[in-house]
Amino acid sequence: MAVLNGKVALITGSTSGIGLATAHVLAEQGCHLLLHGLMNEAEGQALAAEFAGQYGIKTFFSNADLREMDSIHQFMAEGAQALGDIDILINNAGIQHTETVAAFPPEKWNDIIAINLSSAFHTIQQALPAMAQKRWGRIINIASVHGLVASVNKAAYCAAKHGIIGLTKVVALECAEQGITANAICPGWVDTPLINKQIEAIASSRNLSRSDARYQLITAKQPLPEMLDPRQIGEFVLFLCSDAARGITGAALTMDGGWTAQ
Ligand SMILES: NC(=O)c1ccc[n+]([C@@H]2O[C@H](COP(=O)([O-])OP(=O)(O)OC[C@H]3O[C@@H](n4cnc5c(N)ncnc54)[C@H](O)[C@@H]3O)[C@@H](O)[C@H]2O)c1
């Protein structure tokens, strides 16, 4: 039986990687989907139609830029009008830029903080009233191991990911009596386009093939010598949406191949 039949889920950044895989997992369980990401309107509408056809669910697509608060407010209002109030909010969209603090471009800092952290504040603020009224809600923020530990050249990313874990905890405390849980998932390496530049940088600086560079990137810090499949994150999200997980809130849950066990 589809366990999330009729629930409405918003997944930011669901045109690619972890967000897209999670969209498939939730659609299989009967969730209506507010799909979102930087994709042109025609491709986005085609993606939404494909999901609707494949799973028999209602869908809505937005390519709102998460750096703009007004765009976030607008697309969430339009999405709720089209599909109903949001029951499951997954703050997943994110970008990366690697450079030392000394050389880090301020505009990249601003973009990463806006997309990877502040957008989650705005979506949560918009989604909470309806969740509180229904006395049911699931907020899942896709953080990272870099919300728990640091790596060189990732100042903005680590700041944003540490920040989103703090935000998650506060939301969990404030909503604990309202049937709403808030959790952060902290993955290690996941096989998505986000990490392509890091692989390419290792390949060119060490004169390695792409697959050797990929292996070196993974094993530099992660004991499990393989990348996670994005769908594994989606399955974890599904568990956190289940009734069995109603006692899990305010947690930063690792799925990191042992990275932070060291
Ligand atoms: N891939 C990994 O190894 C890994 C590890 C830990 C955490 N994460 C986190 O998982 C999340 C998803 O990353 P992914 O690896 O699937 O990346 P991805 O590049 O495949 O997808 C990122 C998504 O965010 C959207 N996005 C980017 N900038 C945006 C903007 N300005 N406005 C609106 N949408 C925007 C993109 O359109 C895309 O849909 C991110 O928060 C990332 O930090 C990834």
User: How far is the centre of ligand 1, averaged over its atoms, from the C-alpha of 19 (Å)?
Assistant: 7
| 16 close to ligand 1 (CB < 6 Angstrom) | yes
Specify burial of residue 225 (Cβ count, 10 A radius: 0-12, 13-18, 19+): exposed
Task: List the catalytic residues.
Answer: 157
User: How far is the centre of ligand 1, averaged over its atoms, from the C-alpha of 255 (Å)?
Assistant: 16
158-212 residue pLDDT tens:
999 999 999 999 999 999 999 999 999 999 999 999 999 999 999 999 999 999 9
Which residue, by CA, sits nearest to atom 43 of ligand 1?
94
| 189 close to ligand 1 (CB < 6 Angstrom) | yes
Mean of pLDDT values over 239-251: 98
User: How far is the centre of ligand 1, averaged over its atoms, from the C-alpha of 1 (Å)?
Assistant: 30
Work out the mean pLDDT of the chain and round it to a whole number.
Answer: 97
Mean of pLDDT values over 143-165: 98
**Would you say 63 and 36 are in contact if contact means Cβ atoms under 8 Å apart?**
yes
4-53 residue pLDDT tens:
999 999 999 999 999 999 999 999 999 999 999 999 999 999 999 999 99
Q: How confident is the model at residue 240, as a pLDDT?
A: 98
Mean of pLDDT values over 93-101: 97
| Percent of residues, the chain, with pLDDT higher than 70 | 100
Q: How confident is the model at residue 2, as a pLDDT?
A: 83
Indicate if the alpha-carbon torsion angle 21, 27, 31, 32 is positive or negative. Answer: positive
Which atom of ligand 1 lies closest to the CA of 227?
Answer: 3
Mean of pLDDT values over 204-221: 96
pLDDT at 1 over 90: no
**Would you say 252 and 148 are in contact if contact means Cβ atoms under 8 Å apart?**
yes
User: How far is the centre of ligand 1, averaged over its atoms, from the C-alpha of 198 (Å)?
Assistant: 14
Q: Which residue has the higher pLDDT, 2 or 71?
A: 71
Full strand arrangement of the beta sheet holding 88-91: 59-62, 32-36, 8-11, 88-91, 137-142, 180-187, 252-255
Pocket test of ligand 1: the residue of 16, 111, 113 to mutate, having most ligand atoms within 8 Å of its CB, is: 16
Pocket test of ligand 1: the residue of 11, 142, 168 to mutate, having most ligand atoms within 8 Å of its CB, is: 142
Indicate if the alpha-carbon torsion angle 203, 205, 208, 212 is positive or negative. Answer: negative
Mean of pLDDT values over 101-105: 98
**Would you say 63 and 78 are in contact if contact means Cβ atoms under 8 Å apart?**
no
